Amino acid sequence: MTTTTRDTRTATQAYQENMTAIEETLKKLQAGLKKHRREQAKDPRSYAYAGDLSYVADLVQQAARFINGEDE
């Protein structure tokens, strides 16, 4: 989220900027997951990659619960 000391954006502008930032971040996440999958394939016995995805899954699930108004 972009913040300034004096925000002159409308609520709709702020919403759209944040939506765009989220959409760009999701694209980066998808690209990172593809790279991570390729790296894991080089060392399939390592549980480190599984641990990485467990951590990321927790973060993504937390965001999904928040945006959908679900309790934990």
For the stretch 2-34, pLDDT in tens is: 665 677 889 999 999 999 999 999 999 999 999
Task: Check: pTM over 0.85? Answer yes or no.
Answer: no
Residue 58 token pair: 């927790």
Residue with token string 């999904």:
64
Domains in the chain: boundaries: 11-67
Share of the chain above pLDDT 90, in %: 85
- pLDDT for res 14: 96
The CA distance from 23 to 25, in Å, is 5
Indicate the length of the chain as a whole number. Answer: 72
